[in-house]
């Protein structure tokens, strides 16, 4: 699938089949994250791939909208050193992983991290040192059933030339 087709067809997946994701696919996702654009080439990211069911259930129970993490075979925590542009850099890495998952036939969903009250708790639970922040959690697995296809705002409604 080409890049534009991936952008057009990627959707969030919150229901996962009870089937493991091979380690090499997880590594491909994290490699895609590591290749993201980064301000000043700082590459502040670190990734923790969580496959242990008990840990995923604990993470899921800590979030407010990520309960489905418990059912995903993998949860990738996107953590970043607290640099000036950590949030932008970590977000770019998470988006790369979402697109890579789609390209590999996997389902994935971004769960908020940075601005949530649980962010520091999860980062600490995963062993992140001080000064490293949780930017996102990415639940990954094989989709169980078709993915929703929410409507997107038309280009004509969001594009402004020269001025708003």
Where do the H-state alpha helices sit in 50-154?
Answer: 53-62, 86-103, 119-125
Q: Which tokens sit at 16? A: 């996962």
pTM for the structure as a whole: 0.96
Report residue 10's pLDDT band, with 50, 70 and 90 as the boundaries: very high
How far apart are alpha carbons 53 and 12 in whole angstroms? 21
How far apart are alpha carbons 78 and 134 in whole angstroms? 6
- Domains in the chain, start-ordered, CATH in brackets? 3-158 (3.40.109.10)
Furthest CA-CA distance within the chain: 52
Is residue 137 a contact partner of residue 76, using CB atoms and an 8 Å limit?
yes
Angle, CA 141 vertex, CA 139 and CA 144 arms, to 5°: 115
- pLDDT of the residue at 142: 98
Across the chain, how many H-helices and E-strands are there? Answer: 6, 4
Mean pLDDT of the chain, nearest integer = 97
Report residue 5's pLDDT band, with 50, 70 and 90 as the boundaries: very high
How far apart are alpha carbons 85 and 2 in whole angstroms? 29
């Amino acid at each position: 699938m080409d890049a534009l087709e991936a952008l057009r067809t990627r959707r969030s997946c919150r229901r996962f089949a009870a089937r493991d994701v091979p380690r090499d696919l997880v590594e491909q996702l994290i490699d895609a994250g590591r290749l993201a654009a980064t301000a000043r080439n700082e590459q502040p990211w670190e990734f923790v791939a969580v496959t242990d069911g008990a840990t995923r259930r604990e993470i899921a129970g800590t979030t407010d909208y990520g309960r489905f993490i418990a059912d995903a075979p993998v949860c990738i925590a996107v953590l970043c050193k607290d640099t000036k542009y950590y949030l932008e850099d970590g977000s770019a890495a998470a988006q790369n992983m979402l697109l890579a998952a789609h390209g590999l036939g996997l389902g994935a969903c971004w769960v908020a991290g940075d601005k949530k009250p649980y962010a520091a708790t999860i980062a600490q639970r995963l062993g992140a040192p001080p000064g490293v922040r949780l930017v996102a959690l990415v639940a990954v697995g094989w989709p169980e059933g078709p993915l929703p296809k929410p409507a997107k705002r038309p280009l004509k409604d969001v594009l402004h030339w020269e001025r708003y």
